[in-house]
Amino acid sequence: MIAKHAQAILDLLQPGGGPTVYDGKVPGTPAAKYLLVYFDSGDPEEADSRPLTGESQRHVTRAIVHGVGATQASARIMADFARTQLLDVAPTVAGRLCQPIRREDGQPVIRDETTGPAVFDAVAVYRLESVPA
């Protein structure tokens, strides 16, 4: 389940000719600007998301998307690209009915020098929810 939802989000972020997207790991020599994506999933235990049998039906995947670049402007460009590709899109996941993706949280662009030369990073958290089709 997690892999299917993660792949649906990655597919939206990787249209032909789009920016480089890394799934959880940046190589030793990354692209000048890129998206780095981490995933977290859960099955909410809310009464309205379970049938009378008690089985969880609703699945939530969160994509933590880092828009990274050598300048604040390039980090913002990467973050904006992710936003336009994900926000309000209801992706296709086999056997599931997906809700439109929503942005849950984020942080402004920050400067990061922990790995050497300065890079700028803008983070946003997107939520994808689905139920069985």
pLDDT score, position 116: 78
**pLDDT score of 51:** 60
CA distance linking residue 33 with residue 20, whole number of Å:
7
Going along 70-101, which residue ranges are E strands? 96-98
Measure the CA–CA gap between 96 and 105, rounded to whole angstroms. Answer: 25
pLDDT tens, residue by residue, 74-123: 999 999 999 999 999 999 999 999 999 999 999 999 999 887 788 999 99
Rounded distance, CA 125 to CA 64, Å? 5
Asked if the model's pLDDT at residue 48 lies above 60, the reply is no
pLDDT above 80: residue 133: yes
User: pLDDT tier at 43 (50, 70, 90 boundaries)?
Assistant: low
